[in-house]
Protein backbone atom coordinates (compact mmCIF):
# COMPACT_ATOMS: atom_id res chain seq x y z
CA UNK A 1 0.00 0.00 0.00
CA UNK A 2 1.72 3.09 -1.33
CA UNK A 3 1.07 6.65 -0.13
CA UNK A 4 2.30 9.68 -2.01
CA UNK A 5 1.93 13.45 -1.80
CA UNK A 6 1.60 15.55 -4.97
CA UNK A 7 1.43 19.33 -5.15
CA UNK A 8 -0.59 21.18 -7.74
CA UNK A 9 -0.65 24.77 -8.99
CA UNK A 10 -3.76 24.09 -11.05
CA UNK A 11 -5.72 22.07 -8.53
CA UNK A 12 -9.09 21.43 -10.16
CA UNK A 13 -7.56 20.64 -13.55
CA UNK A 14 -4.95 18.32 -12.06
CA UNK A 15 -7.55 16.55 -9.91
CA UNK A 16 -9.81 16.09 -12.93
CA UNK A 17 -6.93 14.74 -14.99
CA UNK A 18 -6.08 12.20 -12.29
CA UNK A 19 -9.70 11.07 -12.06
CA UNK A 20 -9.95 10.67 -15.83
CA UNK A 21 -6.70 8.69 -15.97
CA UNK A 22 -8.18 6.23 -13.46
CA UNK A 23 -11.48 6.19 -15.35
CA UNK A 24 -9.96 5.30 -18.69
CA UNK A 25 -7.75 2.61 -17.12
CA UNK A 26 -10.61 1.00 -15.18
CA UNK A 27 -12.96 1.04 -18.15
CA UNK A 28 -10.26 -0.47 -20.39
CA UNK A 29 -9.45 -3.19 -17.83
CA UNK A 30 -12.83 -3.93 -16.25
CA UNK A 31 -15.44 -2.23 -18.43
CA UNK A 32 -16.57 -0.12 -15.46
CA UNK A 33 -15.23 2.82 -13.40
CA UNK A 34 -16.50 2.88 -9.84
CA UNK A 35 -15.92 6.36 -8.45
CA UNK A 36 -16.70 7.47 -4.90
CA UNK A 37 -17.44 11.18 -4.55
CA UNK A 38 -16.49 13.40 -1.65
CA UNK A 39 -18.56 16.11 -0.02
CA UNK A 40 -17.78 19.60 1.20
CA UNK A 41 -16.90 22.68 -0.82
CA UNK A 42 -14.00 21.37 -2.91
CA UNK A 43 -15.90 19.12 -5.34
CA UNK A 44 -17.67 21.89 -7.26
CA UNK A 45 -14.56 23.17 -9.07
CA UNK A 46 -13.20 19.65 -9.55
CA UNK A 47 -16.46 18.37 -11.02
CA UNK A 48 -16.56 21.33 -13.42
CA UNK A 49 -12.99 20.58 -14.56
CA UNK A 50 -13.91 16.91 -14.94
CA UNK A 51 -16.85 17.75 -17.19
CA UNK A 52 -14.63 20.08 -19.23
CA UNK A 53 -11.99 17.35 -19.75
CA UNK A 54 -14.26 14.29 -20.04
CA UNK A 55 -15.10 14.55 -23.73
CA UNK A 56 -15.88 11.08 -25.00
CA UNK A 57 -15.89 9.40 -21.60
CA UNK A 58 -18.56 6.64 -21.71
CA UNK A 59 -20.57 7.75 -18.65
CA UNK A 60 -22.75 4.66 -19.00
CA UNK A 61 -19.66 2.77 -17.80
CA UNK A 62 -19.20 4.98 -14.73
CA UNK A 63 -20.79 4.28 -11.37
CA UNK A 64 -20.97 6.99 -8.69
CA UNK A 65 -21.19 6.48 -4.93
CA UNK A 66 -20.95 8.94 -2.04
CA UNK A 67 -18.41 8.61 0.77
CA UNK A 68 -20.76 10.45 3.07
CA UNK A 69 -23.92 12.48 3.12
CA UNK A 70 -25.62 14.90 5.42
CA UNK A 71 -29.01 13.82 6.77
CA UNK A 72 -30.97 16.37 4.78
CA UNK A 73 -33.21 16.27 1.70
CA UNK A 74 -31.43 15.75 -1.64
CA UNK A 75 -32.30 19.30 -2.72
CA UNK A 76 -31.12 20.88 0.55
CA UNK A 77 -28.23 23.34 0.27
CA UNK A 78 -26.13 21.13 2.60
CA UNK A 79 -26.67 17.98 0.54
CA UNK A 80 -23.55 16.46 -1.01
CA UNK A 81 -25.83 14.84 -3.57
CA UNK A 82 -27.22 18.22 -4.57
CA UNK A 83 -23.69 19.54 -5.26
CA UNK A 84 -22.90 16.45 -7.34
CA UNK A 85 -26.22 16.63 -9.20
CA UNK A 86 -25.68 20.26 -10.17
CA UNK A 87 -22.01 20.00 -11.11
CA UNK A 88 -21.48 16.42 -12.31
CA UNK A 89 -24.56 14.18 -12.59
CA UNK A 90 -26.73 16.49 -14.70
CA UNK A 91 -23.93 17.92 -16.91
CA UNK A 92 -22.50 14.44 -17.64
CA UNK A 93 -25.84 12.82 -18.48
CA UNK A 94 -24.77 9.71 -16.53
CA UNK A 95 -27.67 7.22 -16.39
CA UNK A 96 -29.67 7.59 -13.18
CA UNK A 97 -29.20 3.89 -12.40
CA UNK A 98 -25.43 4.45 -12.23
CA UNK A 99 -25.73 6.90 -9.34
CA UNK A 100 -26.01 5.36 -5.86
CA UNK A 101 -27.43 8.09 -3.62
CA UNK A 102 -27.41 7.91 0.18
CA UNK A 103 -30.97 8.79 1.22
CA UNK A 104 -30.22 11.47 3.81
CA UNK A 105 -33.88 12.36 4.05
CA UNK A 106 -34.99 9.12 5.74
CA UNK A 107 -34.22 7.52 9.12
CA UNK A 108 -30.38 7.47 9.33
CA UNK A 109 -30.02 3.85 10.45
CA UNK A 110 -32.41 2.72 7.71
CA UNK A 111 -30.54 4.80 5.14
CA UNK A 112 -27.17 3.41 6.26
CA UNK A 113 -28.29 -0.19 6.05
CA UNK A 114 -30.02 0.41 2.73
CA UNK A 115 -26.84 1.85 1.25
CA UNK A 116 -24.67 -0.89 2.67
CA UNK A 117 -27.06 -3.54 1.27
CA UNK A 118 -27.08 -1.88 -2.16
CA UNK A 119 -23.27 -1.87 -2.41
CA UNK A 120 -22.98 -5.39 -1.02
CA UNK A 121 -25.50 -6.67 -3.56
CA UNK A 122 -23.54 -5.12 -6.41
CA UNK A 123 -20.24 -6.46 -5.07
CA UNK A 124 -21.81 -9.89 -4.65
CA UNK A 125 -22.75 -9.96 -8.31
CA UNK A 126 -19.07 -9.40 -9.11
CA UNK A 127 -17.96 -12.04 -6.60
CA UNK A 128 -16.31 -9.40 -4.41
CA UNK A 129 -16.32 -9.68 -0.58
CA UNK A 130 -17.20 -5.99 -0.48
CA UNK A 131 -17.65 -3.16 -2.95
CA UNK A 132 -14.25 -2.10 -4.33
CA UNK A 133 -14.08 1.44 -5.67
CA UNK A 134 -11.65 1.93 -8.51
CA UNK A 135 -11.11 5.42 -7.13
CA UNK A 136 -12.46 6.94 -3.94
CA UNK A 137 -12.26 10.71 -3.57
CA UNK A 138 -11.92 12.05 -0.03
CA UNK A 139 -11.61 15.46 1.59
CA UNK A 140 -9.81 16.41 4.78
CA UNK A 141 -11.22 18.47 7.63
CA UNK A 142 -9.33 20.91 9.85
CA UNK A 143 -9.54 18.26 12.60
CA UNK A 144 -8.23 15.53 10.35
CA UNK A 145 -11.65 13.99 9.66
CA UNK A 146 -12.42 12.42 6.33
CA UNK A 147 -15.81 11.48 4.90
CA UNK A 148 -17.81 11.94 8.10
CA UNK A 149 -15.39 10.02 10.30
CA UNK A 150 -14.53 12.53 13.01
CA UNK A 151 -11.95 12.30 15.84
CA UNK A 152 -13.32 10.38 18.82
CA UNK A 153 -16.22 8.84 16.90
CA UNK A 154 -17.07 5.20 17.70
CA UNK A 155 -17.41 4.75 13.93
CA UNK A 156 -13.60 4.91 13.68
CA UNK A 157 -13.36 1.47 15.28
CA UNK A 158 -16.05 -0.19 13.17
CA UNK A 159 -14.78 -3.37 11.53
CA UNK A 160 -17.98 -4.90 10.14
CA UNK A 161 -20.53 -2.26 9.12
CA UNK A 162 -19.64 -0.44 5.90
CA UNK A 163 -21.98 2.54 6.26
CA UNK A 164 -23.04 4.07 9.58
CA UNK A 165 -25.14 6.97 10.85
CA UNK A 166 -22.83 9.34 12.71
CA UNK A 167 -22.97 12.60 14.65
CA UNK A 168 -20.22 15.08 13.89
CA UNK A 169 -19.08 18.54 15.01
CA UNK A 170 -19.18 19.91 11.46
CA UNK A 171 -22.71 21.16 10.74
CA UNK A 172 -25.05 19.60 9.95
CA UNK A 173 -24.23 17.12 12.70
CA UNK A 174 -26.37 14.12 11.63
CA UNK A 175 -24.67 12.30 8.76
CA UNK A 176 -24.12 9.01 7.00
CA UNK A 177 -20.58 7.83 6.36
CA UNK A 178 -18.69 5.00 4.80
CA UNK A 179 -16.46 3.32 7.39
CA UNK A 180 -12.82 2.31 7.04
CA UNK A 181 -13.55 -1.29 5.95
CA UNK A 182 -15.37 0.02 2.87
CA UNK A 183 -13.08 3.02 2.32
CA UNK A 184 -9.97 0.87 2.48
CA UNK A 185 -11.38 -1.70 0.04
CA UNK A 186 -10.86 0.90 -2.69
CA UNK A 187 -8.16 0.15 -5.22
CA UNK A 188 -7.07 3.79 -5.17
CA UNK A 189 -7.85 6.71 -2.86
CA UNK A 190 -7.33 10.33 -3.86
CA UNK A 191 -7.40 12.91 -1.07
CA UNK A 192 -8.26 16.35 -2.42
CA UNK A 193 -6.83 19.08 -0.18
CA UNK A 194 -6.59 22.41 -2.00
CA UNK A 195 -6.49 24.49 1.15
CA UNK A 196 -2.96 25.55 2.21
CA UNK A 197 -4.00 25.68 5.87
CA UNK A 198 -4.57 21.92 5.86
CA UNK A 199 -1.14 20.98 4.50
CA UNK A 200 0.40 20.27 7.92
CA UNK A 201 -2.54 18.05 8.87
CA UNK A 202 -2.27 16.21 5.55
CA UNK A 203 1.45 15.61 6.06
CA UNK A 204 0.83 14.41 9.63
CA UNK A 205 -1.90 12.05 8.41
CA UNK A 206 0.40 10.62 5.75
CA UNK A 207 3.00 10.12 8.49
CA UNK A 208 0.45 8.07 10.46
CA UNK A 209 -0.55 10.56 13.15
CA UNK A 210 -3.43 8.69 14.81
CA UNK A 211 -4.99 11.94 16.09
CA UNK A 212 -6.32 12.33 12.58
CA UNK A 213 -8.87 9.80 11.25
CA UNK A 214 -7.57 10.40 7.71
CA UNK A 215 -4.33 8.67 8.76
CA UNK A 216 -6.23 5.38 8.83
CA UNK A 217 -7.09 5.46 5.13
CA UNK A 218 -5.06 3.11 2.95
CA UNK A 219 -6.13 2.29 -0.58
CA UNK A 220 -5.38 -1.29 -1.64
CA UNK A 221 -2.95 -0.12 -4.33
CA UNK A 222 -2.25 3.55 -3.71
CA UNK A 223 -3.32 6.54 -1.64
CA UNK A 224 -2.53 9.85 -3.28
CA UNK A 225 -2.73 13.19 -1.48
CA UNK A 226 -3.18 16.05 -3.94
CA UNK A 227 -2.36 19.28 -2.13
CA UNK A 228 -2.70 22.86 -3.29
CA UNK A 229 0.28 25.14 -4.06
C1 LIG B 1 -18.49 16.50 4.14
C2 LIG B 1 -17.22 15.95 3.59
C3 LIG B 1 -16.04 16.22 4.45
C4 LIG B 1 -15.22 17.21 3.65
C5 LIG B 1 -14.13 17.83 4.45
C6 LIG B 1 -13.44 18.93 3.64
O7 LIG B 1 -19.56 16.00 3.77
O8 LIG B 1 -18.41 17.49 4.88
O9 LIG B 1 -17.25 14.77 3.01
O10 LIG B 1 -15.25 15.10 4.74
O11 LIG B 1 -14.65 16.53 2.51
O12 LIG B 1 -14.71 18.39 5.61
O13 LIG B 1 -14.41 19.85 3.27
P14 LIG B 1 -14.02 21.14 2.38
O15 LIG B 1 -13.50 20.61 1.10
O16 LIG B 1 -15.31 21.88 2.25
O17 LIG B 1 -12.97 21.86 3.17
Beta-carbon contacts of 75 under 8 Å, excluding residues fewer than 6 positions away, are 82
| pLDDT tens figures, 129-147 | 999 999 999 999 999 999 9
Q: Which of 145, 140, 222, 191 is nearest to 7 (CA)?
A: 191
Whose Cα sits closest to atom 7 in ligand 1? 39
Beta-carbon contacts of 82 under 8 Å, excluding residues fewer than 6 positions away, are 74, 75, 76
Query: Do the domain assignments include residue 173?
Result: yes
Percentage of the chain modeled with pLDDT above 90: 99
Shortest-distance atom of ligand 1 to CA 139: 11
Cα separation, 3 vs 156, whole angstroms: 20
pLDDT band at residue 194 under the 50/70/90 scheme: very high
| pLDDT tens figures, 74-107 | 999 999 999 999 999 999 999 999 999 999 999 9
Q: Say how many Å lie between the CA of residue 141 and the centre of ligand 1.
A: 6
Cα separation, 32 vs 25, whole angstroms: 9
Mean pLDDT of 5-11: 97
Whose Cα sits closest to atom 9 in ligand 1? 39
**E-strand stretches of the chain:** 2-7, 33-37, 62-66, 68-70, 135-138, 163-167, 174-178, 188-193, 222-227
| pLDDT tens figures, 22-50 | 999 999 999 999 999 999 999 999 999 99
Per-residue pLDDT at 180: 98
Q: Say how many Å lie between the CA of residue 124 and the centre of ligand 1.
A: 30
Ligand 1 in contact with 42 (CB < 6 A)? yes
pLDDT of 1 > 90? The answer is: no
Query: Do the domain assignments include residue 196?
Result: no
Query: Do the domain assignments include residue 199?
Result: no
Cα separation, 225 vs 205, whole angstroms: 10
Query: Do the domain assignments include residue 23?
Result: yes
- Read off the CATH number of the domain in which 34 is found: 3.40.50.1360
Choose which residue among 38, 66, 225, 228 to substitute to test ligand 1 binding: the one with the highest number of ligand atoms within 8 A of its C-beta: 38
Choose which residue among 83, 141, 142 to substitute to test ligand 1 binding: the one with the highest number of ligand atoms within 8 A of its C-beta: 141
Domain count, the chain: 1
Q: How many CA atoms lie within 13 A of 112 on its CB side?
A: 22
Query: Do the domain assignments include residue 201?
Result: no
Query: Do the domain assignments include residue 6?
Result: yes
Ligand 1 in contact with 68 (CB < 6 A)? yes
Shortest-distance atom of ligand 1 to CA 40: 16
Shortest-distance atom of ligand 1 to CA 70: 7
**CB distance 182 to 215 below 8 Å:** no
Per-residue pLDDT at 9: 97
**CB distance 61 to 227 below 8 Å:** no
Query: Do the domain assignments include residue 141?
Result: no
Per-residue pLDDT at 150: 98
Query: Do the domain assignments include residue 192?
Result: no
Whose Cα sits closest to atom 13 in ligand 1? 40
**Residue 96 structural domain:** 2-133+147-185+213-227
| pLDDT tens figures, 173-193 | 999 999 999 999 999 999 999
Ligand 1 in contact with 139 (CB < 6 A)? yes
Per-residue pLDDT at 57: 98
Amino acid sequence: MISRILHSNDFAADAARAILDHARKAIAERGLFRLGLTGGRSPRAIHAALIAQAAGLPWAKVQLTFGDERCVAPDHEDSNYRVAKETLIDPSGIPAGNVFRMRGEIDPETAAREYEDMLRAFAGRLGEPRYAHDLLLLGLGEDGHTASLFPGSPALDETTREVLPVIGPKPPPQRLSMTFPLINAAHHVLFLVPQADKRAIAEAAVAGDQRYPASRVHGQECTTWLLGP
